[in-house]
Structure 1
Amino acid sequence: MKKKMLALPAMAATALIVLSGCSVVIEDGPKNQEPTAQGTTAPVTTEPSDEPTEVEETAAPEASDGGDQETEPSDGGSDQETESKLPPLKLTPDEGTLYLRAVQAFSPRLESWVLNEAGDEVHFVEYNCTGQAQHDVYGTLTDYETNDEGEFYTVTWQGPNPQESSTSRTDALEITERIVVPKDAGSDEIASAGSEAVLNQYVGMCKGAGEMAVTFLL
């Protein structure tokens, strides 16, 4: 006995295919073309990696300091550097005898007396710590006399009197090989023949007053 093939309706065929786990794509085309069955493809899932992801670091550019060499801050200079900035001052005259006196004051002063070789003229200069002349005057010596108080010359100044307390143009000076001192002056007003001791004393006064001291040369 022969079995007969039954033609199933389209909806029944579709249900049968779904139950079997397969899908059928039916394309419009000639009726005599058989549908092609395609298997269902599962989506691909990418699992995260356990290894840490390395990030390439970019080195930051180095800041420029404006030059190849570093500039060290100045500390203001030492006493020797400060003195070296001022030109040295020569006190010893080309001729004659030099006498010096250091005067302690708010701004220390250095008195320079130079007696010429002829013994008839004296040159007085008063310097400040930086070597600037604050008072500069010549005097003519006349009328030498000797008495119980000493040996004195009468000096006639060609400008203002070096003694602040006097406005007279004439004075009496005691002058020897070792000292120059105005008559009736105290012992602290004696100018001694130029020596390193007087200069050292004066430089010490300047530094004590916080002022620059020029290098005085004898």
Structure 2
Amino acid sequence: MSSEKNASGILLVEDDRATRNLLRALLLGEGYRVFVASDGASALAAMRNEVPDLAIIDLHLPDISGIELASLLQPEVPFLAFTVDESEQALQTCIEKGALGYLVKPMAAEPFLRHVQVALERGRDQRNLRRALKDNRLVNTALGVLMGYWRLSEPRAFDALMAYTTARNLKTFDVSTRIVAAINALSAETGADHVATEARLFLDEFGSVLLKGDS
């Protein structure tokens, strides 16, 4: 077992005892440190002792919804949704909230563990980049613009910004500058303002990024 796995802590939030025990055993067998909870309240209580690297959350909990819980944990804790709900609406909601994966029960052990490993890697990359950018006011302002313009969660806005810059081989700070300038142009829009029109077209480009991320 790798030291990387041994260093990773996972919060497992599942109200069904049999499922919870099975998943816990699978994760422990891979060397992960596992914290279990049966509802939202106990999950938040577990967070007081240690912030996990990943949360695996059942969407249907007895006290609050899994989506509500995920919103309370983010952006510090990335999450995987784990549910029997195969509806498009549930999937779309999780995507909008920045879920790193949508796992439908029942799921075999091998694909489940593979999804967990990929989510941990993505979550680690996001945290490292956030730490590098967290003190930059410009980037934070740009994220706020995307969150407001597209009604995104912070993790989802962050993913959109990273996807846009990567696809176009641009610097994060340069794109952030354009985002802030665009929203300022829209705020000052008067009549047939071509600057505001260009600003809106630029911000709308993130729509294609979001759609690609959803596919």
Please give the TM-score of this superposition, normalised by the length of structure 1: 0.22
Q: Return the structure number with greater strand share.
A: 1
Higher RCO (Cα < 8 Å, 6 or more apart): 1
Larger Rg: 1
In the superposition, the TM-score normalised over structure 2's length comes to 0.22
